[in-house]
Amino acid sequence: MLTRHTHQALYAAFDRFPSAKGAAVHIARMAHTLFNMVGGGLLYVLGDETLPAYQEEPGPIEIVRSSSTAPNLLQRTVAYGRYLAALRDQQAATLRLCHFRDPWSGIPLLADPERSYQTIYEVNGLPSLELPATYPALGPRTLAKIQRLETHCLTHADAIVTPSTTTRDRLVQMGVAPENITVIPNGADILPTPPRPIHAPPRYLIYFGALQPWQGVDVLLRAFALLADYTDLWLVMCISNPPRSARDYRKLADKLGISDRMLWLFELPQDELAPWRAHALLSVAPLTESVRNVEQGCCPLKILESMAAGVPVIASDLPAVRELVRDGVDGLLVRPDRPAALARAVRVLLDYPHHIPEMGAQARERIASQFTWQHSTAKLAALYQRMLESGTTHIGARPDPPADDSTH
C-alpha cells in the first residue's frame, strides 16, 4: 500500500519540501489551494534523511517523499518518476486534477492517454535553460532529451500556469497556444512588522535566497566593496542553501575586504527570516542578464516579500522584474551585471534617506492591491474550478483578460 487514502487531487514537485527555498513557499500555497478544492490530496515531493518518507496531515493530506540516493541528477529523476507512476496507478480511479511543476513529474502523469484526470503544468522554469548553469558538464544530447521532455509536457498538459508574462511569451515562442496559458504571479502576505533581530546591525542591506549563478551574488559583493566609505553599513546574507554552498562567495568577500561588515545566515525558516527582511534598509536582487532571467523569465519571491514588508528593492532592470517593481516608486532598477551601477543606486537612497520609507510604503501598497497570495490563489482556484466543471474532457486554461495582463 503506497498511501492510506484515495484522493481526487495530486500535486507533484521535484523539489525538497519543506525547505528554506522560495520554491517551498510556492509549493505550500499552490498545493493548499488545490487540496481545498476537493477536500484533501496527495503531495509528492523530494525528501532527505531529515524528513519522513511518509507524512499524514488533516484533510486528509498525505505527503510522500522520494529520497533516492542515486549518484547523479538524471538517475534521481528516473527513480522519482517511477514511484510517481506507481502512485498514479494506485489513485487512478479517483484522481480528477493533477498539478505538476517539472517534466520529471509531468511525464509519468501524462503517460496514460486514457487518463480520467486533468493536468496542470506549472512552469516556473525550464530545466533545459537552468540546468546548464548548475551542471556545466551536461552534454548536448542530454539537453536535447530534456527539451523533448519539456515539449511533451507543454503540448500534452491540459493547462499551463506560469508566474510572469515574460515566461508566458517564451512559451508562446516555443509553440504553446496562448489560450492554454494562465499567468498567475507569485504572491506575498502583508503582515505586522516583527521585532528587530537581537543581533541585527543598526544599518544593513539584505540579500536572501539561493546562490545559483543567475542570482548575481558576485555582483552584489563587488558593489558592496564600492560602499566602503559607509563604515556603519552592513550586508546581511540570508542564504537558503547550506553553508558549504557559500564557500566561494565567502572567499570573494575576503578578497574584496568586506567580510568584517557582512553577516552570513543559512537555511533560516520563514519565521526567522521575516524579522531580518523587515528591518533592512534596502533589499537587493541583483539578477544577471542571462537567458534564464531575460528570455525565460521569473517572478522572484525575494522582491515580492521585501515589498510586502515595506522594504524598497534595488533590483536588476529585467523584463520580469519590471512586471513587479516601478522604478523610482517602489524601488530602483539598475542595469544588470554592473557592480558600480548597483552601488550607485544604494548611494542615492542612503544619501536621500527620506525616500526610503516613502518607497517602502508604495511597495507595500502595490503588493496589497495586486500581488498578495490571496490574489494569486484566487486566480488558481478559478482555473481549478473551470477544469472540475468540465468533467473528464481535457481543456486548456482560458486566456487572461487584457486588463489582467497589463497589471501583471
Q: What's the pLDDT score for residue 392?
A: 52
One-character DSSP codes across 284-312 = EE---SSHIIIII----HHHHHHHHTT--
> What element of type H or E holds 248?
helix 247-256
DSSP state for residue 178 in the 8-state scheme: G
The arithmetic mean of pLDDT across residues 87-99, rounded, is: 95
**Cα separation, 130 vs 152, whole angstroms:** 18
Q: What's the pLDDT score for residue 31?
A: 97
Q: Mean pLDDT across the chain, nearest whole number?
A: 92
The better pLDDT of the pair 133, 351 is held by 351
Cis peptide preceding 353, ω within 30 of 0: no
Inter-residue contact 358 to 326 (CB < 8 Å): no
Interval 359-390: pLDDT, tens: 999 999 999 999 999 999 999 999 999 999 98
CB atoms within 10 A of CB 223: 25
Cell, residue 173: 515562442
**Cα separation, 39 vs 102, whole angstroms:** 24
Assess whether pLDDT exceeds 60 at residue 407: no
Q: What's the pLDDT score for residue 297?
A: 87
Cell, residue 175: 509553440
Residue type for 56, please? E
Residue 408's pLDDT band (cuts 50, 70, 90) = very low
Q: What's the pLDDT score for residue 1?
A: 54
Q: What's the pLDDT score for residue 72?
A: 84
The arithmetic mean of pLDDT across residues 151-160, rounded, is: 96
Dmax (CA) of the chain: 67
Interval 236-288: pLDDT, tens: 999 999 999 999 999 999 999 999 999 999 999 999 999 999 999 999 999 99
Interval 337-365: pLDDT, tens: 999 999 999 999 999 999 999 999 999 99
Q: What's the pLDDT score for residue 133?
A: 79
Assess whether pLDDT exceeds 90 at residue 153: yes
Greatest mean pLDDT among 6-15, 64-73, 106-115, 132-141 lies in 6-15
The arithmetic mean of pLDDT across residues 63-81, rounded, is: 90
In this structure, of 22-26, 84-88, 294-298, 393-397, the range with the lowest mean pLDDT score is 393-397
Q: What's the pLDDT score for residue 398?
A: 33
Assess whether pLDDT exceeds 70 at residue 393: no
